[in-house]
Structure 1
Amino acid sequence: MRQEALLNGFWSFITDEKEIGKAKKWFEKAPKEVGDHYVPGCWNLQDPKYFRYEGVAWYFNKFHVSQDMKNKKIDIIFEAVHYYSEVWLNGKYLGKHTGGFTRFNFDITKVVQIGKPNILAVRVDSRLSETTMPVPGSDWFNYSGIVRDVRLLATGKVYCSDIYVKTKIDGRIKAIVECTNKLASNQDVTVTVAICNKELEQVAEKSMNLSVKSNASGKTELDFKLDKPHLWELSDPYLYKVHVSVKKYGEAIDKLSIDMGIREISTRGLQILFNGRPIKIHGVSRHEDHPQFGRTIPQSAIYKDYQLAKDLNANMIRLAHYPHDPKEIEVANNIGMFVMEEIPNAFLMKPQLADKKMLELAKQQLRELIMRDRNNPSIIFWGLAIECETETVPGMKFMKELTELARELDDTRLLLHAALALDKDKSYKYVDVMGVNTFDAWYNDMPFTAPGIFLDRVHKKFPNKPIIFTSHGADSIYGLHSREKVMWSEEFQAEYIQKIGDDVIKRDYLSGECIWHLMDFRVMKQSENKYFLKFLDLGMRNRKKNYQYLKRPGEYNLKGIVDTFRRPKLVYKVVQDLYKRWDDLEKKLNRS
């Protein structure tokens, strides 16, 4: 049977500013000058001298593998290392990975030592450029290092390598199971899938025989029909358990279990349907950012953030702007919260969108995201792009290929992207839902009615497709008050959200809004972020800019409904009341 072992804990750590580690073969023996850093964790917050460090660093860990893993296939799994990583075990090169937010693994069966110490070396390069994803101008902090769990997974040489469960609200369920065979001969196995309810009662079971060739993978599909299925709803996030068993000669050689929520998401004209009824989205965006933990946030703290969102009457959290920790998706599944999950395909300009390497990088990150998270019922949208130049021909081709890949990997969710050029965009035609981002009346001198006018223009150009107002907001400094409601005050932020919210909620064609942002979050030092300023000039073209309000006081984006310590601002009550109105609107829509 499969076994797991976490490698979290204190690892040896050293920066490599001069990039001499490879030449000096640190992967064979760590230098004497190493210190201790906790894994998972962001190196920026573990020692003040590394707070702004972007570059190369090395991690080293000594671990033992127990005898009961002998003769098994053993993988080492990294949930996320930011950004570019290379890995060695016992001096042997395992491989590399690009991208700081998704899971990757290496087969260490032939390299790992059983009953002896193993030395793991990881070289991390956190530098971003105009050819990385994200680009350096992404307006969030570049938390770096081994930022999520590291673990060992031991299985038999024939094992379940993937399961994908597709559900329909009438009770039809399709389980697609993949098995992999690492033995020298072909293997015949029996795959059994059992479904249990929350009370641990088995409600369905089916078996299929599968022949898997040597050093290859094979798939089988099992179809079920549940009577009176208990649907996953926000008010009742009911989860079934799906158990997969792989048997050889009647004996189980591998077992795997996942949660399953039965639900459907679709569109009908201008409406977004969840479980067959129209819904209105009223959400908040959330970066992985915490003043104490950075991006490596404990699940208990994530849960508190989701409780905050629930208290705001929000029904969705937009995971800005990259794949978040799987522990967060687990919270959403259990607490009852819609999720929009994205890849860091943000703020790309025409030359980047024309670059085939950037397209392949986007595809890689999209593939890793969907393959990791496609069984989670809370996720209803895949976000494919954020404010890129998708009105260009290269942008259109870029988006066409991304949408084709997304639908190939998962046809059970809606695709969305938030355009920069709005009604001039050429890529909305490829997605199911149009996202509109505009910060007019904050970054420029336009009136509070400007966002609604832009929404109308998009709707006029694309009259038969759902629209979500995916991003808008204004900054405020916690504790700064003003009778005149001057910008940066809590009063101005509250008025901004109130007036824009009052205006846009009147539009029947609109499927909802998502306010930017749940909490204040740390960003990069702007004087060092020329790409961001260049991009803002592009995004605000033909509009009078207020450069004063492009600033980031204290190196924070201060558009939070709560501050970085999760203390509510005046806007909290405004959002609470506004989102109650969105909820009432949805109920009225369903009554009619």
Structure 2
Amino acid sequence: MAWLLAAAALLATALAGRPAGGLLFPRASPSRELQELGGLWRFRADWSPGRQAGFQERWFARPLRQSGPVIDMPVPSSFNEITQDLDLRGYIGWVWYEKEVLVPARWLLPDARTRVVLRIGSAHYYSIVWVNGAQVTEHEGGHLPFEAEVGRFLLGTAGEPCRITVAVNNTLTPYTLPPGTIEYLKDESMYPKGYFVQNTKFDFFNYAGLHRPVLLYTTPTAYIDDITVTTDLMGNVGLLQYLVSIRGSTHYTLTVTLCDGDGAVAATGDGLAGVLKVPNPILWWPYLTHERPGYLYSLKVSLSAEVDGEILQDSYTQPVGFRTVAVTRNQFLINGKPFYFHGVNKHEDADIRGKGLDWPLIVKDFNLLHWLGANSFRTSHYPYAEEILELCDAYGIVVISECPAVGMRDSINFGNKSLQHHLVVMEELIRRDKNHPSVVMWSVANEPASELPPAAYYFKTVIAHTKALDPTRPVTFVSNAKYDRDQGAPYVDVICVNSYFSWYHDPGHLEVIQLQLNAQFENWYKTHQKPIIQSEYGADTIAGLHSDPPLMFSEEYQSAMLKQYHAVLDRKRTEYVIGELIWNFADFMTGEAVTRVLGNKKGIFTRQRQPKSAAFLLRERYWKLANESSCLASPKYDNVCLPAAQVFKQT
């Protein structure tokens, strides 16, 4: 229990220094209201040569339509593919969004004692926000939420529309995550004057805009600011350590009530911190390891605070899963039992809406994951929407949560300026996702140039910082460097390796895969003595293109490649390989290039979520892996090795 208390205290303390406070997912409660601001917003791109006209002309100071032509833009969505304008699709610079909102009058009453908070789920990449012409916040980073208290900017406006303006800039520099460069092409015999392009070294389209929900929510002026939850097991008792931060009052009482999935009270407590003990808890288990995967309890935190002689009430309910995570030299353990990742890499990507959050698409993808028998995915190559992680918690889908450090291929990306921003991004990511039982590991980068000398100090620092923020989860990054040159590998808990034998290496030569893959695993494990995940492998495949014998880009070639990889994975998973994640779940859009025909085609599903032949092959394998498990979990923490393994049916 001492370890649990220390870990939870470290997690909460490490995240407490940021002035913005907590970042709880907005939930309605008797004391909290939500107002969704999705739908059509006014939109205008700044086409001026320096992209500064919006600031010079103060577009935020008056209705956007008064500054010039505007169009309708759906939120959430990427702006790139909503219109027929090819120039807007590839636009780099500042774009402006605006929406007029009628705020409920009861929120603005002088004696309401109500905070009104504006929250933006994601704006790619840099954003500045105004309310009624007054700047309320700005934020760097395209994949994490940010918010600002805006009540004081609404005083005296009851019954009148409130104007919210958001300026978003998708320009990437060597110091952003992900990084990029702006290249000015100055030969005026070949390019117009002032012509520039955005260069990146990652293989997905740089979609931009307001990608996730925008909303207003309220709390009392004395409120629950943050909740940190960690869990452990001691014998047959589940331990839940909670830490709560309160703002707006120093005179209050606080109670916590833990209820099981049926609403029955499992434990109670009081005060800002404590440990709840639950005899024989139902544990949070991954999909296909338990008849009730993703089992969640609910922790209701109730606050009664005195402010100027008045009693204010606030309540917030945090989903909780009892589970532990540990790593040995050759295993990944969930609840003390070996776990094998058989899953996918994904992208937040779809036709028309780009990276915009889309509920039908999200639910379709989870149905496909269940059909496939996938128990896990990596959030390649950036944090996914909170709504997706909520479903992972509920469905038992295990997540490797990755920050947007992709495309770090140059020495300049490993300097102090990049490092400081990287540390802030990890703080924001952990602050948001720390309570999700589905998140079992942090990934601090994908395919960086980790063989470069500066990478040693850089990743030592980032990984140490991440572990200080959250000592309860292992940390990795995904490498494609040589095993004996990777400067960051000594600091990770799990080795994640990407390789594309017979595709980017020895293209077309399926016969070399097993030899090369076996050598890859042997070399990495001999050098580092850590468990290994094959974090990417795959082949571009044009749906409907067939060839026998199998040739590159055909469905047969993709399936043949997977079979060669699987033969080696089956041998090594009995030793130290702990997982395999196919690249990719579905085809996705990239920048235009001679090697990309409307995007990356390595998906086992098309971009429209139709299966290629490899999807059926992988489905057969994943269900076979699930049913081969000889130690499926029972509902309780103990007696997990059943005499006869339950056979999960493909549905």
The answer on 1:204 being equivalent to 2:267 is: yes
2:325 maps to what in 1? Answer: 265
- Aligned-partner SS, 1:306: helix
8 Å Cα contact 1:174/1:222 also seen in 2 = yes
The answer on 1:580 being equivalent to 2:632 is: no
Give the stretch that moved more between structures: 477-486 or 347-356.
347-356
Supply the RMSD in Å over aligned alpha carbons.
Answer: 1.9
Residue in structure 1 matching 2:84, options 42, 48, 59: 48
Residue in structure 2 matching 1:349, options 400, 404, 409: 409
Residue in structure 2 matching 1:443, options 488, 504, 512: 504
Residue in structure 2 matching 1:388, options 426, 443, 448: 448
How far 1:128 sits from its partner (Å)?
A: 2.1
1:470 maps to what in 2? Answer: 535
Distance 1:586 1:457, change over 3 A: farther
Query: Which structure 2 residues correspond to residues 512-531 of structure 1 after superposition, within 5 A?
Result: 512-526=579-593
Tell me how far apart the structure 1 counterparts of residues 429 and 443 of structure 2 sit (CA, whole Å): 11
2:276 maps to what in 1? Answer: 224
8 Å Cα contact 1:299/1:327 also seen in 2 = no
- Aligned-partner SS, 1:256: strand
Give the stretch that moved more between structures: 436-445 or 389-398.
389-398
8 Å Cα contact 2:267/2:278 also seen in 1 = yes
Give the stretch that moved more between structures: 402-411 or 254-263.
402-411
Tell me how far apart the structure 2 counterparts of residues 284 and 575 of structure 1 sit (CA, whole Å): 10
Paired amino acid for 2:470 = D
- Aligned-partner SS, 1:491: helix
Tell me how far apart the structure 1 counterparts of residues 463 and 471 of structure 2 sit (CA, whole Å): 10
Query: Which structure 2 residues correspond to residues 292-303 of structure 1 after superposition, within 5 A?
Result: 292-303=352-363
8 Å Cα contact 1:160/1:255 also seen in 2 = yes
* TM-score, normalised by the number of residues in structure 1: 0.90
* TM-score, normalised by the number of residues in structure 2: 0.82
1:149 maps to what in 2? Answer: 213
Give the stretch that moved more between structures: 20-29 or 363-372.
363-372
How far 1:392 sits from its partner (Å)?
A: 3.2
8 Å Cα contact 2:303/2:315 also seen in 1 = yes
Tell me how far apart the structure 2 counterparts of residues 122 and 440 of structure 1 sit (CA, whole Å): 45
Residue in structure 2 matching 1:63, options 85, 98, 101: 101
Give the stretch that moved more between structures: 235-244 or 471-480.
235-244
Residue in structure 1 matching 2:337, options 277, 297, 300: 277
How far 1:584 sits from its partner (Å)?
A: 4.5
Distance 1:272 1:585, change over 3 A: farther
Give the stretch that moved more between structures: 170-179 or 424-433.
424-433
Paired amino acid for 2:210 = I
8 Å Cα contact 1:195/1:241 also seen in 2 = yes
2:177 maps to what in 1? Answer: 133
How far 1:296 sits from its partner (Å)?
A: 1.4
The answer on 1:37 being equivalent to 2:80 is: no
Distance 1:35 1:461, change over 3 A: same
1:506 maps to what in 2? Answer: 571
The answer on 1:434 being equivalent to 2:495 is: yes
How far 1:133 sits from its partner (Å)?
A: 1.0
- Aligned-partner SS, 2:119: strand
- Aligned-partner SS, 2:130: strand
- Aligned-partner SS, 2:279: coil
CA deviations 1:78-128 (Å, max 9, x no partner) are: 000011111111111223111110000112122124413221111111122
CA deviations 1:125-183 (Å, max 9, x no partner) are: 112233321132211111111111111122222211110111113400101111122xx
Paired amino acid for 2:99 = N
2:251 maps to what in 1? Answer: 188
Q: Identity percentage over the alignment?
A: 30
Distance 1:313 1:390, change over 3 A: same
- Aligned-partner SS, 1:432: coil
Tell me how far apart the structure 2 counterparts of residues 356 and 254 of structure 1 sit (CA, whole Å): 42
How far 1:581 sits from its partner (Å)?
A: 4.0
CA deviations 1:426-482 (Å, max 9, x no partner) are: 22222211101111210121621222311211011012x111111111111000001
Distance 1:440 1:298, change over 3 A: same
- Aligned-partner SS, 1:494: helix
How far 1:588 sits from its partner (Å)?
A: 6.6
How far 1:222 sits from its partner (Å)?
A: 1.5
8 Å Cα contact 1:349/1:389 also seen in 2 = yes
8 Å Cα contact 1:350/1:395 also seen in 2 = no
Paired amino acid for 1:42 = S
Tell me how far apart the structure 2 counterparts of residues 395 and 322 of structure 1 sit (CA, whole Å): 20
Tell me how far apart the structure 1 counterparts of residues 101 and 642 of structure 2 sit (CA, whole Å): 60
Runs of 5+ consecutive residues of structure 2 not aligned to the other structure: 1-30, 180-199, 633-640, 644-651
Give the stretch that moved more between structures: 124-133 or 237-246.
124-133
1:21 maps to what in 2? Answer: 54
Distance 1:307 1:231, change over 3 A: same
- Aligned-partner SS, 1:226: strand
The answer on 1:175 being equivalent to 2:223 is: no
Paired amino acid for 2:577 = L
Aligned residues: 552
The answer on 1:96 being equivalent to 2:138 is: yes
- Aligned-partner SS, 2:463: helix
Runs of 5+ consecutive residues of structure 1 not aligned to the other structure: 209-219, 528-550
- Aligned-partner SS, 2:388: helix
Give the stretch that moved more between structures: 299-308 or 332-341.
299-308
Paired amino acid for 2:302 = S
8 Å Cα contact 1:505/1:582 also seen in 2 = no
Paired amino acid for 1:15 = A
8 Å Cα contact 1:512/1:582 also seen in 2 = no
8 Å Cα contact 1:278/1:586 also seen in 2 = no
Distance 1:21 1:138, change over 3 A: same
Tell me how far apart the structure 2 counterparts of residues 281 and 293 of structure 1 sit (CA, whole Å): 30
- Aligned-partner SS, 1:62: strand
Tell me how far apart the structure 1 counterparts of residues 47 and 522 of structure 2 sit (CA, whole Å): 51
How far 1:391 sits from its partner (Å)?
A: 3.0
How far 1:323 sits from its partner (Å)?
A: 0.5
How far 1:52 sits from its partner (Å)?
A: 2.4
8 Å Cα contact 1:303/1:331 also seen in 2 = no
The answer on 1:322 being equivalent to 2:382 is: yes
2:609 maps to what in 1? Answer: 566
The answer on 1:246 being equivalent to 2:289 is: no
Tell me how far apart the structure 2 counterparts of residues 585 and 461 of structure 1 sit (CA, whole Å): 30
Tell me how far apart the structure 1 counterparts of residues 564 and 642 of structure 2 sit (CA, whole Å): 27
Tell me how far apart the structure 1 counterparts of residues 392 and 498 of structure 2 sit (CA, whole Å): 24
1:544 maps to what in 2? Answer: none
- Aligned-partner SS, 1:152: strand
Tell me how far apart the structure 2 counterparts of residues 222 and 300 of structure 1 sit (CA, whole Å): 40
Tell me how far apart the structure 2 counterparts of residues 467 and 503 of structure 1 sit (CA, whole Å): 13
Paired amino acid for 2:105 = Q
Tell me how far apart the structure 2 counterparts of residues 251 and 131 of structure 1 sit (CA, whole Å): 47
Give the stretch that moved more between structures: 572-581 or 329-338.
572-581
2:25 maps to what in 1? Answer: none
How far 1:232 sits from its partner (Å)?
A: 1.0
